[in-house]
């Protein structure tokens, strides 16, 4: 989903109601569609899209930190919390990840548990595992 200026939501659950008829397309959605196709074809490692998301200041900081996790790498919730100078905020990082409206573009799938385990993901753990393997990680 997008407004005229930015991508606002990515549905990875498959549960979002689909509009009837021919959905309106704008430049942001066309660019997003192209970049998703490139990502899934293995030809893109990061997204270059205008984004719009809401949340608390801490949640916005978490989402910006997630954007800095390189393709094919992971970080733990604790590492993200420490990078934000809030080392005791691992659970708050998890909450922010769970509220990420722009999954894949803002790569919350690259965040794992402290022992490297796969933990919650809006699209399900099987999709999280697939995305990480797609990015070259062996799990």
Structure confidence by residue, pLDDT tens digits, 73-87: 999 999 999 999 999
Q: What is the distance between the alpha carbons of residues 22 and 36, in angstroms, rounded to a whole number?
A: 20
Catalytic residue numbers read 108
Chain CA centroid to CA 34, Å: 17
Cα separations (Å) of 43 from 35, 73, 104? 9, 17, 15
The pLDDT, as a whole number, for residue 21 is: 43
Residue 115 has pLDDT above 90, yes or no: yes
pLDDT band at 107 (very low <50, low <70, confident <90, very high): very high
Compare 19 and 38 and report the one with higher pLDDT. Answer: 38
Domain 57-134 in CATH 3.40.630.10: no
The pLDDT, as a whole number, for residue 4 is: 85
Where do the domains of the chain lie?
Answer: 57-134
pLDDT band at 20 (very low <50, low <70, confident <90, very high): very low
């Amino acid at each position: 989903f997008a407004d005229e200026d930015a991508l606002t939501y990515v549905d990875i659950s498959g549960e979002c109601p689909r509009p009837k008829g021919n959905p309106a397309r704008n430049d942001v959605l066309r660019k997003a569609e192209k970049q998703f196709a490139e990502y899934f074809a293995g030809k893109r490692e990061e997204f270059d899209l205008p984004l719009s998301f809401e949340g608390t200041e801490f949640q916005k900081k978490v989402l910006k930190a997630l954007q800095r996790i390189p393709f094919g790498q992971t970080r733990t919730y604790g590492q993200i919390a420490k990078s934000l100078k809030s080392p005791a905020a691992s659970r708050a990082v998890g909450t922010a990840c769970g509220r990420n409206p722009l999954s894949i573009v803002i790569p919350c799938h690259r965040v794992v548990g402290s022992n490297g385990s796969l933990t919650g993901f809006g699209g399900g753990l099987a999709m999280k595992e697939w995305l990480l393997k797609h990015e070259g990680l062996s799990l």
